[in-house]
Every structure is written in C-alpha cells, then in structure tokens.
Amino acid sequence: MDVLAQSWLDQQCKLIQGVTSGVLMLGVPENGSFSPVACWPEGITTSPTLLAIARTAMEKQQGVVTSMPDNSVTPQRQLDTIGYPLIINDQLIGIVALEIDSLPEASRRSVTQLLRLGSVWLEMLIDQHTTTDNQNLITVLELVALSLEHDRFQVAATALATELAMRMECNRASIGFLHGERIHIQAMSHSARIDTRSNLVKDIAAAMEEAIDQDTAIAYPVNQDKSVHITRAHEELVRQHGNGAICSIPLVDNGAMIGALTLERSGEQPFDIQTIELFKQIGVLVGPALELKRRDDRWLISKAGESLRSMLAKLLGPRHIVMKLVTAATVALVGFMAVVDGQHRVTADASLEGQIQRAVVAPIDGYINNSDIRAGDIVHSGQLMGELDDKDLKLEYEKLTSEKNQYIREHRSALAGHERAEASILSAKIDQASAQLRLVEEQLERLHIVSPFDGVVVSGDLSQSLGSPVERGDVLFEVAPLDAYRLVLKVNENDIREIDIGQTGKLRLSGMPGETLPLSIGKITPVSEAGEGSNFFRVEARLESELAQLRPGMEGVAKVEIGERKLIWIWTHKMIDWLRLWSWSWWP
C-alpha cells in the first residue's frame, strides 16, 4: 500500500500545475487514526501547514482551501493549501493535502475536480490490490489444506507439487527435504516415482541447496530487485534441462531450514517479484505442515534415532544449561549408586498374633443368659466371661434327686423284707441316679464360662445375643495371652528366595508408627496364598522385645535385612527380574 500510495500521489502532483509539496494520509475509518503514507517530492519532511489543513478537511469531510504567504522565497509569493478528503463507499479512508501556487477561484475548482477524479482512480487501485491479496490468501490456504488432507507424507507432497505446478503455470514443481547436509528430492509434480540417480534430480537438488545455503529465495533469470545472489546451480539446471525460468524457495520450520521448493517455467514467463512473494508465503505455511507429516510417517527407530541425536546436540552444544546440569547430576547419581553398597531389605506386610490362641466354646446346648465381655477386653484366669441359662438343668437335677430318694426308700424296704434280688436292682438304680446327678452338677458348673488364662479377648461378643440358642462346641470367645506373640509376614513370591531362618529385621506397626521393634525369622511355610494380584508366602517371626501396648491383630510393615548389595542393584533388581521372565516367556 505504501508503494501504491506514493505512486498515486506522484501522478496527482504531476497532473496539477504549480504544486510545490503534497502529502497523502491513510487510516482506519473505524477509529479515525490517520498517518502520512506518502510525500511529494518523495523523501521530504511534511510541513505542519499541510498536516493542519489535512486535519481540517478530515474533521469537515469536505474540501478546504486556505491562502498564506511563502516566506521562504523573495520576493514573497502567495501559496494556497488545499485539503481534500478521500471518501470511498461513504467512508473516509484518507486525506490528500497539497501546497500550490495561488490560483484564481476557477482554477481552484479545477484542482478540486482533479482530486475528486483521482480518488476514483485510487479506489480502483485499492480494490485491485485487495482482490489480488484475497486471491493470494485463498491460494495459500487451499494449498495448506491440500497438504493436510492426506495421511501419508509421500502422497501429500506429490499432490501438493502437482497442484502447485498447475496453479502457478509451471512445467515442473519439486519438493526436497534436508537429510543431514544434503537435499533429498521427496516429490515431483506429475511423478509417482523419483529416480534419485538421474541427472535431473541431482541438478534440482543442487539448485535447492544453493537457495538453502544463501538462506533466501533465488529466481533465475535474476529479477529486478537489484539483489546479488549466486545462481550457478540454477544456470546449470536451465542449461541442462531446458526450462528457462527457475525459482527456489527455502522451507523453514521453527527457525531451522528443513528443505526447499523449486518451480520451473519456460523462458517466456519469468518469475516476477509478486509471484516470488506468493511462493514465499506458500513456503512459510506449507513447509511446517509437510515437515510434521514427514516426521510422523517415519519408522519408529528413525524417530528414536533423531530424538537421540537432538538430545546429544543439546547436551554437547551451546545453551541448555539446565538440561546439562540435570544430566550431569543423573550420571553422577548413577555412578554413585553403582559403586556404593547399601543394606538390602525385603519389605512385607505384617500382622501380630498371639503365640497361642485358646477357644472358649459352649459346653452344652443351651441359651445365653448373661455376658459382659467383648473382643478387646483384658481378662484374668478364672474370670467369669458369660453364663448360660440353668433352668432346664436345675429341673433335671430336682427330678433326678427325687428319683434317687425314691430308690433309696424302696431299697430300704427290700432289705427289711429280705428281698435280696430286688435290693440289688434298686442299689444299681441308686448308683445310676447318683451318676446322673453328678453329671448335671458338672454341667451346672460349666454354665459359668470362665477365662482359661490371663490374656486379651481376640474375638467374641455375646452382649448382643442374649437369649440366643447355642450348640455344644460353638466358639463363644477366643483368648490370646498378653505376654507371648508371634509375627506373621506376607512375603511376595519374588522375594521369598531371599528369606532364611535366623535373619533379623525391624517392624513398625500402624498403631505405633514411631516405635521400631526388632524381629527374627523363625519359620517359613512352603505353601503360598493368593491375594492382591500376587502370591504370598507365610513367614513367622519372633519379636525380640515387647511393649505393653502390643495387642493381637495389630498390623504394620516389616523389613527383613538380607545383606549388603550395590545401591543400583537394590533399586533395579525387581525390574530386571521382570524383564528376564518376560523375555524368556516370549523367547521361542
């Protein structure tokens, strides 16, 4: 727009006789901000007088003419300043201000008419410029969409090269990407396969490398921008393969050169500056899109190799201080762990059990009469824990007592009558009744459920079951001693090979996380049980010291000391064992 505005102002000042200076101001109608974009003669400083008349014309939105003497020359001459608003589609888009020799009123109207006609011409130029920009933008966006349309890189690159050749009226379009320091041609228009050994492909690659080395777009024959570029490879491509006009555009992604785009035409249609600028815009947007597809379309090993090379470049090259410090610290830590020994421990969930555990069962069939003891209570030897209902047994006792007394009286009568046989029978019945009475007496005594020793009730609560029936042998309570415990460890099958009888370790219980209790392994059971997705072996251990706060059923974590190992082995042996098993399971 600056070039367009300067060209328009030059033509207007040349058409109007007597113009000494001029300025064209353009801006955004919505916010009313206007600034000078062109001056005449080109390069001079805009005078405050012209700026003032331009502001007046902008405020009034109509032509303004003022007269003033010119003090810069002798003898003095009279100058007119003319400000004229440029209105297109009922919108103020700019103001032109001219400084001109004093004119009569009729001449002033002629100048105003010329400016009015010039605004129509400027409108046509702006519309043409805007239309061209919109068409270029649509072209660029359609090409970007085409490059993103296909999933595979090779298909997308070939389709893009073919579409470029057709839209830009080129004989051939080629796309190449850098591999190391050399260009590899990836796609050519109207070509499904590329022979990398052909001279044509080698010459196109050389032209691309020439543009990449100079980090600029190169057109041959040289355009009129007066820039000096080395075009030897382009000349050779023209000489060997006949197309008279060639343009190569470097492709950039994230500030780094990734490849180039080369287009070839006949000599009768060289590449102008506007076309080269359009190619640059296409390359800026299409290059990163194709690079993304190229990266995603590689083999996994290629991606890993490039990631490794990129990381090494950051580590060995400049900058990236934080990454270098982290890497150095990691290497130092690994080296330290590889040479320093540490105590290897096997960790396992642990639970506390009584060394012996006594079940208190129902002595006979009956009903619960009373009980004040529940799990967790401390009991002493012989302490009453509960009672069963004795009504039925007492009735049975009275019945047997009556029968016994009756047998005694009958026995005495038989003796008095010298009936020896009857006396013997009655004597046996008396003994039988006596034995049944002793049994009932024993059952009555057993109705009082007492603790077998001093300890803690591990399980059982009859206070919520008063009056409920129980059968002989039903477990009513479980009692464990307070001074004898054993520790049960659940050792994972991956670590059981490290455990041996006599090894020592430490225990921390959830209820006492601040206390550490020493332990020693006493027994390893050869039977495993499944749980939590793994197999565990039951290992029994002894506590070397006991606390008064210990209770059966407490749980915690135990660590069994195995021996000295390298720190790196301690941290990685489980993963290595898993990898060994996994690889062996898949090995033929």
pLDDT in tens, 342-366: 999 999 999 887 777 778 888 878 8
Residue 329: the pLDDT is 94
Q: Report DSSP state, residue 317.
A: S
Q: Does residue 223 carry a pLDDT above 70?
A: no
According to CATH, the topology of domain 150-297 is Beta-Lactamase (3.30.450)
The percentage of the chain sitting over the pLDDT mark of 90, rounded to a whole number, equals 19
Residue range 449-468: mean pLDDT, rounded: 78
- Helix axis angle, 321-339 relative to 300-316, nearest 10°? 100
Tokens coding 164: 């470029």
Question: Which percentage of the chain shows pLDDT scores above 70?
Answer: 91
pLDDT digits (tens, 9 = 90+) for 30-50: 555 777 777 887 767 777 778
Separation between Cα atoms, residue 176 and residue 209, nearest integer Å: 9
| Two tokens, residue 561 | 């000391």
| Band of pLDDT at residue 55, cut at 50, 70 and 90 | confident
Evaluate if residue 309 carries a pLDDT over 70: yes
How sure is the predictor about 62, in pLDDT bands with cuts at 50, 70 and 90? confident
What pTM was estimated for this model as a whole? 0.48
Distance between CA atoms of 360 and 350, rounded to whole angstroms?
26
**Whole-number mean pLDDT of the chain?**
82
CATH node for 484-586 = 2.40.30.170
Res. 125 pLDDT band, cuts 50 70 90: low
DSSP conformation letters of 101-117: E---HHHHHHHHHHHHH
Would you state the pLDDT for residue 180?
Answer: 81
Q: pLDDT per residue over 68-123, tens digit each?
A: 665 554 445 677 787 777 776 677 777 778 887 776 766 667 777 777 676 666 66
Domain with CATH 2.40.30.170 in the chain: 484-586
**pLDDT tens-digit series, residues 76-86:** 567 778 777 77
| DSSP codes joined into one string, 246-261 | EEEEEEEETTEEEEEE
Report the Cα–Cα distance between both ends of the chain, in Å, rounded: 73
- Span(s) in the chain for CATH 3.30.450.40: 2-136, 150-297
Higher pLDDT, 336 or 45: 336
Annotation: CATH topology of 358-478: OB fold (Dihydrolipoamide Acetyltransferase, E2P) (2.40.50)
pLDDT band at 532 (very low <50, low <70, confident <90, very high): confident
Closest CA to 437 of 415, 481, 404, 409: 404
Q: What does the pLDDT read at residue 74?
A: 45
Q: Average pLDDT of 381-390? A: 80
CATH number of 2-136: 3.30.450.40
Burial class (CB in 10 A: 0-12, 13-18, 19+), 101: middle
Q: How confident is residue 175, by pLDDT bands cut at 50, 70 and 90?
A: very high
